[in-house]
Amino acid sequence: MKFETVSVIGLGYIGLPTAAILASRGLKVIGVDVNEEAVNTINRGEIHIVEPDLDIVVRAAVTTGNLKAVLQMEPADAFMVAVPTPFKENKKPDLSYIKAAAESIAPVLKKGNLVVLESTSPVGATEKLAGWLAEYRPDLTFPQQTGDKADILVAHCPERVLPGYVLQELVSNDRVIGGLSPESSAAAVDLYKTFVKGECITTNARTAEMAKLTENSFRDVNIAFANELSMICEKLKINVWELIELSNRHPRVSILKPGPGVGGHCIAVDPWFIVNSCPEEAKIIKQARLTNDEKPFFVMEKITKAADQFKKPVIACLGLAFKADIDDLRESPALQIVKELADRNIGQIIAVEPNINALPKGLTEKDIKLSSLEMALGEANVVVVLVDHQEFKNSDRRQFSAKVVIDTRGVI
C-alpha cells in the first residue's frame, strides 16, 4: 500500500519525532495536537520537548513544507495515534485520550484508510479503538466486522524508543505490528517500512499490545530485583555495587542497577495494565511495582537519619530527572524524594539539576534552592546522589570528602 499523507495524532515525545521522521522521508505529514502552544511552536520549526537532535529534524521537516501542525483533524491516507494512556487513581487504564482521538478521526475517515494505535495500551485497546470508530462511522466497515474485506484497516504498533535515543531507535528498532486483520498488518508494515530499518514483525493486535507491556514489565521486575538487593545489602552491611559487579561475572547473570526508585511515564505505569487485567495471576509483576514504589521512601528514611546527625543540616540533592542526562522530571523518584524532604522540614534542601534552568511547579512553593554542583557541595553536609548525570560522574571526588554521602546510583 502507498501512503502520501499521514496524520499523527499527539505531538509529544513519540508523536513529534515520528511525524518529523516520516516527513524527512518525503511524506506529507499533518501533526494534530490539542495544545495550541505546541502547534505554534512546531510550525515555527521549533520544539516544545527535549530530545537530542529532534530540533534539527523538525526544523528541516517544517522548512520543506512536509510537516505542519494543526489543531483540527484533516483527511489523510493513514492516521497514527500517539496520545497518552495514563492510569486513573485506582491504577485502572485511562483510555479517554484514545477515545477522543477516535472521535476526531472518525469524521474524516475514507475507505482505504489505515489507523494505527502507537500508544502503549492495555490488551484490547486496539479493538476498543476500532469499536469506537465503527460506532461513529456506521457507513464504513471495519476489520472486526468484515476482516480483510473491511473499508478501514486498523493495527497496533507500540512505540519502543528510549528517551534520549529516540531518533536512532525510531529507525533502528524492530517493530511489532499487530493488525486486526492480515490486510491491516500488511498495510501497517508498508507504512513503517518508509522509515524503519529494523524488522517489522506481524502478529495480532492483542499480542502486540501485550508484547510492549511485557518488555516494560520485564525491565521493572529486573530493576525491582536490584532495588530489593540494595535494601537487603543495607541491612547486611554489604556494598551492593560490588556485590552486583561480582555476581554479574557469572555468564548467565546480568543484574540491573538499583536506584532511588523507578520513574518515567512508561515502566512505572505499563505493568499496572497487566496487573489490572489479570490481578490473580500477575503476582511478581505487581510486587515489582510495589517494591520499586517503596524504594524512594527507603531513601528518604536514610537521608532523614543522616541529617539528624547535624545541628543545621544542609542537604544537597544531586539530580531531579527520572534518569540520567535528560530533563524529563515526569514521575521522577528524585523529584518525589526532594519534595518529601522539604515537607519533612529536616534542613535546608539544595537541588542540583544541570538539565533545567528553573525549579518545576510543585518545588517553587517549597523552601528549596536550585544551585550549581560546586555551590551545593560547598554548602552541604549531606550529599545525596539521586541521578547518575554525566556532570556528577565527572565531578572531582575530593569535593565529596568530609560529607555524609548517600549515593543511590553508585556514582561516587
Site for ligand SAJ contains 322 (CB under 6 A): yes
In the bound state with ligand SAJ, the residue whose beta carbon lies nearer, of 40 and 254, is: 254
Q: Scanning residues 43 to 82, which ones bind ligand SAJ (CB under 6 A)?
A: none
CB 126 within 8 A of CB 155: yes
Of 68, 157, 212, 339, the catalytic one is 212
Pairwise CA distance, residues 225 & 211, whole Å: 21
Site for ligand SAJ contains 315 (CB under 6 A): no
Q: Is 200 known to be catalytic?
A: no
Among 93, 122, 163, 271, binds ligand SAJ (CB under 6 A): 163
Q: Scanning residues 222 to 281, which ones bind ligand SAJ (CB under 6 A)?
A: 223, 256-257, 259, 262-264, 266-267
Q: Is 266 known to be catalytic?
A: yes
Pairwise CA distance, residues 346 & 308, whole Å: 8
Annotate 342-411 with three-state secondary structure: HHHCCCEEEEECCCCCCCCCCCCCCCEEECCHHHHHHHCCEEEECCCCHHHHCCCHHHHCCCEEEECCCC
Q: Scanning residues 109 to 138, which ones bind ligand SAJ (CB under 6 A)?
A: 120
Binding segment for ligand SAJ among 140-148, 156-164, 192-200, 374-382 (CB under 6 A)?
156-164
Residue 180 C-beta: closest distance to ligand SAJ, Å: 22
Binding segment for ligand SAJ among 77-85, 111-119, 160-168, 280-288 (CB under 6 A)?
160-168
Phi, psi values for residue 41, rounded to 5°: -60, -50
Of 68, 157, 266, 323, the catalytic one is 266
Among 28, 48, 99, 219, binds ligand SAJ (CB under 6 A): 219
Among 5, 44, 146, 162, binds ligand SAJ (CB under 6 A): 162
Pairwise CA distance, residues 186 & 183, whole Å: 5
Task: Kindly state the DSSP code that residue 28 receives in the 8-state scheme.
Answer: E
Contacts of 252 (CB under 8 A, 6+ apart): none
Residue 410 C-beta: closest distance to ligand SAJ, Å: 10
Pairwise CA distance, residues 236 & 214, whole Å: 32
Binding segment for ligand SAJ among 159-167, 228-236, 283-291, 394-402 (CB under 6 A)?
159-167
Among 18, 216, 336, 381, binds ligand SAJ (CB under 6 A): 216
Instruction: Tell me the site size for ligand SAJ, rule CB under 6 A.
Output: 20
Site for ligand SAJ contains 319 (CB under 6 A): no
In the bound state with ligand SAJ, the residue whose beta carbon lies nearer, of 223 and 383, is: 223
| DSSP output for 172-220 | HS-EEEEESSHHHHHHHHHHHTTT--S-EEEEEHHHHHHHHHHHHHHHH
Residue 229 C-beta: closest distance to ligand SAJ, Å: 12
C-alpha cell at 260: 532511588
Pairwise CA distance, residues 138 & 255, whole Å: 52
Pairwise CA distance, residues 31 & 39, whole Å: 8
Pairwise CA distance, residues 396 & 394, whole Å: 7
Q: Tell me the residue type at 399.
A: Q
Task: Return residues touching ligand SAJ (CB under 6 A).
Answer: 120, 159-163, 215-216, 219, 223, 256-257, 259, 262-264, 266-267, 322-323
Active site residues: 212, 266
